Structure 1
């Protein structure tokens, strides 16, 4: 077996849209409305939690995800 690492840099332009996508993904994954709604609350879930919910499919046919992480690496204060 071979292990691969995949990296992605992502700039978020609309945090609300990301939160809505994360909420919908949680519902699609069967996590329930209560947990899904937590993705809309920035006091409970950081935007990196939302990105991880959207981008980590948890299951890929023919592969095993060994781990995943999301972090904020730069903030554009000019916005």
Structure 2
């Protein structure tokens, strides 16, 4: 490991550090998604489309959308 990597970390370390807040938010939403019915999870697609149409960014929707998809996949 070179001096640069010791100080700044590897590319992978930096990438993980950057995405961890999103992962933590997705994990925080897990109990909320487990409570939703299958139908409610399906309806979230329309909710996301509406929020996008109202100007919400994809970055803002990402954690919640991923939490919905993850829960649907587990079922």
The answer to which structure has the higher helix fraction is 2
- Rg larger in structure: 2
Which structure has the higher relative contact order (CA within 8 Å, separation 6+)?
2
